C-alpha cells in the first residue's frame, strides 16, 4: 500500500528543534497521510475461503463398531479324517486367499471322493466361489455326459462352467486350482495355474501336473498368437506385466489370454501308489517334490512295524504256537532250550507233528508220544487261530486310527518347513492316503 510523506528539513540545535515542534503542532500537520484505497483493490487483496471439499464415501470415517470386521483373522486351518489330512496358513497378505474342498465319501461311497486346493490372487472372491461350485459343476457334468465321453472332456466342461458363472458375478480376482477325483480304480487329476499334484509311487515323487506359467514357451506363444503380450515385471514374466500365471478361473480383465482350460490326467489306481499331495505354490516355491514325499513317508511310517513280517507278529506267533499254549509258555521255551540235544530233537519232532495237526483234521498216532485227543487238538487250533486274528485286527485298527494323525502331522511339517525358508505366500497342503481308497474296495 503506497504511503505519501512530507519532506521536512530538521534544524541542527535543540532550541531550533523545540520551536520546530511547536510550529508543527500549531499547524496540525500529520507526519504521514494514508492514500485512499479503492474497493476493487481491497477485494483483490482479501483472502478467499476455499470451496468445501466433498469426501467420497469410501474415504469417510468408519464407525468404530465395524472396525472389528476389518481385522484380519487368524485363518490357519488344520484337520484330518480317514484317508486325508490338510493344513493351511495365511502368509503376509492381509486376508487369507487360499481355500480347499474335501469330499471323502461322495454319494455315500467309500471309494469315491473329491479333493481340491485353490490359490486365490487379487482377492479371495474367486477362490471362495470355486470352493463352493467347482465340484458341483464337475459332478453335474458327469451325470449328464454320455457314457463313452472321455473324463478329460467332462472335467474341462466343469471348469469352464465354473469360470463362466464367476465372470457373471462381476467380481475381481482369480484362482489357480488343482483337483483330484477318485472313483473306483481311477484317479483324475486336473490343474490350472501353479497349484501342483505330486504322487508317491513306491517312495518316489511323480509330478502329475504342469505349472501354467508365462515363462513356458508354449504358454507365451498362445498368448501372443491371441494378440496379447508378456513382459518381465518384478523379476517374473507376466501377462501384460500383471499376472504370472497363464491359466486361471476369473481374472476378467485378462480373460482373452488367461484361459480356464485345465490339463487333465487319468491314472489307474495301483498297489504301488501310496499317497497324493495337493498344494498351492506357497509350498512348492520352497520345498522340492521328492523332499515333500520323503518328509511324509518318514512321518507316516509306523514306529514299530506290525504285520506278518514284523517282529511283533513273529513274537505273537511264538507265543500262540502249539507248543506254547500254556500261560507259562516263555518259561517252557527257556526250559526246552536248556534241555539236552536228544531231548531237544524229540521236542522239535513233537512240535512239527503238532503243527501238522493244525493244518489237517486227520487223526493219526505217533510212535514215541501219545498225541492229544482230537477234541483237544481242535480246541487248540481254534484258540491259536482266534489269537492270530485278534492280533491282526488290532494292528489294522491301530494303523487306521493313527494314520489321520500322522497325515496331519506331515501336513503341518511341510507348512512349517516352507515358512522357515522364508515364503511370504499363503500355504495349503493336502495329503490323500490312496491306501484308504484301495482298501475300501
Pair 299, 152 in one domain: yes
First to last CA, the chain: 103
β-partners of residue 77 are 88
Q: Does residue 2 belong to any structural domain of this protein?
A: no
- Residue holding cell 511264538? 318
Three-state SS for 274?
Answer: strand
Pair 299, 322 in one domain: no
Listed in sequence order, the DSSP H helices in 217-328 are: 217-225, 281-284, 289-300, 311-319
Pair 197, 134 in one domain: yes
CA atoms of 344 and 350, how far apart (whole Å): 10
**pLDDT tens, residue order, the chain (441 aa):** 444 444 445 555 566 666 656 665 555 545 444 555 555 555 556 677 777 777 665 445 555 555 444 444 557 888 888 899 999 999 998 889 999 999 998 888 888 999 999 999 999 999 999 999 999 999 999 998 877 789 999 999 999 999 999 999 999 899 999 999 999 899 999 999 999 999 999 999 999 999 999 999 999 999 999 999 999 998 889 999 999 999 999 999 999 999 999 999 999 999 999 999 999 999 999 999 999 999 999 998 854 344 434 443 344 344 333 333 333 444 444 444 444 444 444 444 444 443 443 444 444 334 344 445 555 555 555 555 554 444 444 444 445 567 889 999 999 999 999 999 999 999 999 999 999 887 665
Pair 283, 253 in one domain: yes
Tell me what pLDDT residue 19 has: 65
Pair 409, 388 in one domain: no
Tell me what pLDDT residue 437 has: 85
Could you tell me which residues come within 8 angstroms of residue 152 by beta carbon, excluding any fewer than 6 positions away? 188, 264, 266
Domain region containing 344: 311-397
Output the pTM of the full model. Answer: 0.66
CA atoms of 411 and 287, how far apart (whole Å): 12
Pair 127, 216 in one domain: yes
Pair 100, 167 in one domain: yes
Listed in sequence order, the DSSP H helices in 169-263 are: 217-225
Tell me what pLDDT residue 358 has: 43
Q: Does residue 271 belong to any structural domain of this protein?
A: yes
Q: Is the dihedral of CA 409, 412, 418, 420 positive or negative?
A: negative
Pair 213, 93 in one domain: yes
Pair 177, 260 in one domain: yes
Tell me the CATH number at 298: 3.60.40.10
Cell of 95: 486376508
Residue 400: alpha-carbon gap to chain centroid: 23
Pair 246, 346 in one domain: no
Tell me what pLDDT residue 282 has: 95
Q: Does residue 46 belong to any structural domain of this protein?
A: no
Q: What is the DSSP string of 328-368?
A: THHHHHHHHHHS-HHHHHHHHHHHHHHHHHHH-------SS
- Pairing state of beta strands 112-121 and 263-268? unpaired
Tell me what pLDDT residue 377 has: 57
Count of domains for the chain? 2
Q: Does residue 17 belong to any structural domain of this protein?
A: no
Could you tell me which residues come within 8 angstroms of residue 311 by beta carbon, excluding any fewer than 6 positions away? 304, 305
Q: Does residue 105 belong to any structural domain of this protein?
A: yes
Pair 276, 349 in one domain: no
Amino acid at each position: 500500500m503506497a504511503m505519501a510523506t512530507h519532506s521536512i528539513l530538521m534544524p541542527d540545535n535543540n532550541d531550533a528543534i523545540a520551536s520546530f515542534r511547536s510550529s508543527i503542532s500549531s499547524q496540525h500537520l500529520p507526519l504521514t497521510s494514508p492514500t485512499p484505497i479503492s474497493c476493487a483493490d481491497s477485494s483483490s487483496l482479501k483472502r478467499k475461503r476455499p470451496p468445501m471439499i466433498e469426501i467420497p464415501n469410501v474415504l469417510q470415517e468408519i464407525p468404530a463398531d465395524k472396525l472389528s470386521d476389518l481385522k484380519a483373522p487368524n485363518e490357519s486351518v488344520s484337520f484330518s479324517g480317514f484317508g486325508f489330512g490338510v493344513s493351511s496358513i495365511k502368509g503376509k497378505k492381509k486376508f487369507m486367499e487360499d481355500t480347499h474342498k474335501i469330499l471323502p465319501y461322495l454319494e455315500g461311497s467309500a471309494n469315491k471322493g473329491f479333493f481340491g486346493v485353490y490359490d486365490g490372487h487379487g482377492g479371495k472372491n474367486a477362490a471362495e466361489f470355486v470352493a463352493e461350485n467347482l465340484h458341483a459343476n464337475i459332478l453335474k457334468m458327469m451325470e449328464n455326459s454320455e457314457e463313452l465321453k472321455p473324463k478329460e472332456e467332462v472335467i474341462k466342461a466343469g471348469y469352464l462352467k465354473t469360470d463362466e458363472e464367476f465372470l457373471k458375478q462381476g467380481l475381481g480376482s482369480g484362482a489357480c486350482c488343482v483337483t483330484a477325483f477318485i472313483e473306483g480304480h481311477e484317479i483324475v487329476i486336473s490343474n490350472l495355474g501353479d497349484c501342483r499334484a505330486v504322487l508317491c509311487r513306491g517312495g518316489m515323487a511323480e509330478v502329475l501336473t504342469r505349472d501354467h506359467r508365462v515363462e513356458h514357451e508354449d504358454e507365451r506363444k498362445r498368448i501372443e498368437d491371441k494378440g496379447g503380450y508378456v513382459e518381465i515385471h518384478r523379476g517374473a514374466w507376466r501377462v501384460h506385466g500383471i499376472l504370472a500365471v497363464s491359466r486361471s478361473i476369473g481374472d476378467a480383465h485378462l480373460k482373452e489370454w488367461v484361459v480356464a482350460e485345465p490339463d487333465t490326467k487319468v491314472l489307474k489306481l495301483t498297489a504301488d501308489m501310496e499317497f497324493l499331495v495337493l498344494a498351492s505354490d506357497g509350498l512348492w516355491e520352497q520345498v522340492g517334490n521328492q523332499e515333500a514325499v520323503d518328509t511324509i513317508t518318514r512321518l507316516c511310517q509306523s514306529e514299530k512295524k506290525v504285520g506278518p513280517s514284523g517282529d511283533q507278529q513273529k513274537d505273537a506267533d511264538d507265543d500262540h504256537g502249539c507248543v506254547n499254549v500254556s500261560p507259562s509258555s516263555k518259561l517252557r521255551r527257556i526250559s526246552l532250550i536248556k534241555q539236552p540235544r536228544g531231548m531237544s530233537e524229540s521236542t522239535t519232532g513233537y512240535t512239527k507233528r503238532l503243527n501238522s495237526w493244525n493244518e489237517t483234521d486227520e487223526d493219526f498216532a505217533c510212535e514215541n508220544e501219545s498225541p492229544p485227543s482230537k477234541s483237544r487238538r481242535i480246541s487248540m487250533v481254534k484258540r491259536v487261530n482266534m489269537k492270530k486274528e485278534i492280533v491282526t485286527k488290532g494292528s489294522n485298527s491301530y494303523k487306521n486310527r493313527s494314520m489321520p494323525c500322522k497325515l496331519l502331522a506331515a501336513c503341518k511339517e511341510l507348512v512349517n518347513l516352507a515358512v522357515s525358508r522364508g515364503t511370504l505366500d499363503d500355504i495349503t497342503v493336502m495329503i490323500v492316503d490312496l491306501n484308504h481308497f484301495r482298501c475300501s474296495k
